[in-house]
Amino acid sequence: MTLRIRGRGIVPGRAEGEALVSHETISGWGGIDPATGTVIERRHELHGVCFTGKVLVFPGAKGSSGWAGFFQSTRLLGTAPLAMVFTTLSTKSALGAVVTRVPAISDLDADPVELIRTGDRVVVDADAGIVTVTPTPPPS
Amino acid sequence: MELADDEKAMLDGAEGPAVAAAMDLLVRYGEALGAERLCETRNVAGTMTQPSPVKARLVREGGWNKAFSVINLDSDDEFELPHMRVPTCQLQQGFGEDSVGIAPYPRSMVELQSGAEAFYGERGVNILATCTPYQVGNLPARDEHCAWMESSAVVYCNSVLGARTNCEGTASTGAASLTGKIPYWGNHLPENRYGTHLVEAAVPVAGFLDWGMFGYFVGEVVQENRPVVTGELRQPDQTDLKHFGASTASSGGVEIYHIPGITPEAPTLDAAFGGRAAPEAIGYGSRERRAVYETLNNQGESTGVDFVLLGCPHASLDQIARAARALDGRKLNAGTELWLMTPRALRSVADRNGYTEIIRRAGGRVLTDSCPAMSKSAPEGTRVFATDSAKQAHYLPAILGIEAWFGTLEECVDAAVTGTWRGELR
């Protein structure tokens, strides 16, 4: 059974891949290592986890104004996520998605962090503003 | 997003390809925010000169023109950087020449940054090189639209100065510097500046330490919201408010706060909430104060201190003078170093006043441009550090993997002189 969440495209484009869900907000500076595409904040639920090539689902951005610059670096170093889906839009997350240049959706009609689980198959259609989620393992 | 005629012309290349790329980024960013239009700004504070491994590679490939195009304009093309269109300054950066032989920081990065200062200086970027541009010549007027980065400067700009900025990033400030435009969104709109939460201090908040601890509490409880703070508040000075705001932006993401009767947009409690009824107050009493102190001090076990850091955000002249008085005629413990960070412009006044020499005679250092957190650099072998800054105590243990103590300037100086942390909450 698939689930559809409607939102607003932040960066246009379409991508399909596996979800990586963070229930905690993510820091750029001091929070991620662009060289390896991993979360490095100690005590973060995703500490040591790599987001490269994943649909990164998270509540929003926190911390330093260097947020977007750090995610831009993931693009320049080839470690960027495949797409972004986030609950709360701010200047950090909006600019971050823009300079990472991956399909991104926010302003959703339901909280993606609550509905999507790590490992779910997700289609991010930012042109239409729709996130389609197929839970994994699929119901038999 | 609606573009004005001059903005359309910039996008179409009338002002050259670099300005067109800048406008393209602002359009992508403005659309992402859902902004209806851009607004004019003549005050940009961003970052261009600070070295990083990615920048070093780009500079090798195509000089600072390429680094600016790729990082500050988010472009795949490479442009000749024109002169800044509007007044623009460089915020804090990496360690500079004055740190050589003191901070363990690559010489190659110091040289890369010197090259950047020359390049950007020639194109009109004012190299203030501080997280506190408002202390050294960049003091926006009330209601002025700004495009600033650096969370502690953003919250000061909005709250204490009553100017208007969002928490911008490297690319949006780069684009603003060449266009004089920024999305009219968030804190630029008057209706988004009123308070959302009320925090009332039941214990006296007086002096640098207590304003910092109160800020840390406020940030933690309101997160990204807009606090109005009242209660037993003693008259703060500029240095207290610098610490208060930086703390709210460390434990939370506060970009604007109001103190009725003190900050410019809140002559009264009523005005702070835009005429709406104030929400129920969140209390800050002695229990909460004690809890903040313990949070900031639960990152240390060893009372042997090998590094003391003062000046986060960059020290005011008053803080330098106080450090000099506390250190006058004393000598640092053999195994302990003390660094005080300040903008270079204030360092020159400190030199002139003799403060730098008093601190140097005691064995301490007055350094500029950066800080241990920005440059990821503390004295070789540091395991335990002490600071009077809630922000540095919040960030540095995670960044460098060291223990931390937080207390007053005088307690920090005592730790530097004795090598032992003896601070306590009074």
Summarize pLDDT for B135-154 with one digit per residue, the tens: 999 999 999 999 999 999 99
Q: How confident is the model at residue A138 (pLDDT cuts 50, 70, 90)?
A: low
Q: Residue A139's pLDDT is what?
A: 56
- DSSP H helical ranges for B49-167: 53-67, 107-122, 151-159
Asked whether the beta carbons of A8 and B34 are under 8 A apart, the reply is yes
> Tens digit of pLDDT for each residue in B232-279?
999 999 999 999 999 999 999 999 999 999 999 999 999 999 999 999
- Residue B159: exposed, middle, or buried by beta-carbon count in 10 A (0-12, 13-18, 19+)? buried
For position B425, what pLDDT does the model report? 97
| CATH number corresponding to B194-295 | 3.40.1060
Contact A89 B171 (CB under 8 A): no
Question: CB-based contact (8 Å) between B406 and chain A?
Answer: no
Domain boundaries, chain B: 5-190, 194-295, 297-418
Instruction: Tell whether A48 lies on the interface with B, counting CB pairs under 8 A.
Output: no
User: Is A10's CB within 8 Å of B224's CB?
Assistant: no
How distant is the Cα of B382 from the closest Cα of chain A, in angstroms? Answer: 19
Is it true that the peptide bond before A137 is cis, omega within 30 degrees of 0? yes
CATH numbers and ranges of domains, chain A: 3-134 (3.50.30.10)
- Quick one: pLDDT at residue A30? 84
Tell me, yes or no, if A13 comes closer than 8 A to chain B by beta carbon. no
d(Cα B138, Cα B88) in Å, to the nearest integer?
A: 9
Residues of B in contact with A77 (CB under 8 A): 54
Question: Token pair for residue A80?
Answer: 């960027």
* A140, A26 contact by CB (below 8 A): no
- Encoded tokens for A110: 């339901």
Q: What is the pLDDT of residues B70-107, one digit of tens each?
A: 999 999 999 999 999 999 999 999 999 999 999 999 99
**B302 contacts: CB under 8 Å, gap ≥ 6:** B383, B384, B403
B299 pLDDT exceeds 90? no
Chain A nearest C-alpha distance from B371 (Å) = 14
Nearest CA in chain B to A97: B32
Look at residue B361 in the predicted model and tell me its pLDDT.
Answer: 98
Closest CA to B85 of B46, B123, B129, B45: B123
Mean pLDDT (chain B) is: 97
Place B300 in a pLDDT band, splitting at 50, 70 and 90: confident
The token pair that represents B329 in the structure block: 């005629």
Percent of the residues in chain B that have a pLDDT greater than 90, as a whole number: 99
- Say which residue the tokens 């195994």 belong to: B335
> Which candidate, B337, B198, B338, B347, places its Cα nearest to that of B278?
B198
Whether residue A69 and residue B170 make contact (CB cut-off 8 A), yes or no, is yes
In angstroms, how far apart are the furthest CA atoms of chain A? 46
The shortest CB-CB distance from B399 to any of A30, A34, A107 is to A30
Stretch (H or E) spanning B273: none
Residues of chain B with pLDDT > 70, as a percent, come to 100
Closest CA to B47 of B172, B135, B154: B172
Type of residue at A73: S
pLDDT tens for each residue of A31-56: 999 999 999 987 899 999 999 999 99
User: CB neighbours of B15 closer than 8 A, spacing ≥ 6?
Assistant: B9
Residue A64: pLDDT above 70?
A: yes
Are A96 and B25 contacting, i.e. CB atoms less than 8 angstroms apart? no
Q: What SS3 state is found at B23?
A: helix
CA distances from A44 to A22, A88, B217 (A): 9, 18, 21
Helix, strand, or coil here: A86?
strand
| Residue A140 pLDDT greater than 60, yes or no | no
Q: Do B194-295 and B297-418 come out as alike in CATH topology?
A: no
Q: Name which of A29, A33, A119, A23 is nearest A65 in CA terms.
A: A29
pLDDT of B313 over the 60 cut: yes
Q: Report which of A108, A85, A106 is spatially closest to residue A17, judged by C-alpha positions.
A: A85
Q: Which of the listed CATH numbers 3.90.1580.10, 3.30.499.10, 2.170.190.11, 3.40.50.10420 matches domain B297-418?
A: 3.30.499.10
Size of chain A in residues: 140
How far is B67 from B55, CA to CA, in rounded Å? 6
Q: Hey, are the CB atoms on B224 and A88 less than 8 Å from each other?
A: yes
Secondary element (H or E) of residue B7 = helix B5-11
Judged by a CB distance cut-off of 8 A, whether residue A59 touches chain B is no
List, for residues A82-137, the tens digit of each pLDDT value. Answer: 999 999 999 999 999 999 999 999 999 999 999 999 999 999 999 999 999 999 87
Does A98 contact B151 at a Cβ distance shorter than 8 Å?
A: no
User: Of chain B residues 180-199, which have a CB less than 8 A from chain A?
Assistant: 185-186
User: Which residues have a Cβ under 8 Å from the Cβ of B398 and sit 6 or more positions away?
Assistant: A30, A41, A42
Count helices and strands in chain A by DSSP H and E runs? 3, 12
Provide the H-helix boundaries in B182-305.
Answer: 207-222, 238-251, 269-272, 286-296
Count other C-beta atoms under 10 Å from residue B2's C-beta.
10
Q: Are B57 and B102 in contact (CB under 8 A)?
A: no
CB B89 within 8 A of CB B140: no
Side by side, the strands of the sheet bearing B384-387 are B365-367, B337-341, B307-310, B384-387, B403-406
Cβ <8 Å between B54 and A34: yes
Per-residue pLDDT at A43: 80
Among candidates B52, B151, B171 on the partner chain, residue whose Cβ is nearest the Cβ of A95 = B171
CB contact under 8 A, B169 and A96: yes
The secondary structure element, H or E, covering residue B310 is strand B307-310
- Which tokens belong to A7? 């939102």
CA distance A139 to chain B (A): 36
Task: Measure the CA–CA gap between B7 and B10, rounded to whole angstroms.
Answer: 5
Q: Does the CA dihedral B239-B242-B245-B249 come out positive or negative?
A: negative
Among candidates B126, B124, B127, B103, which has minimal Cα distance to B113? B127
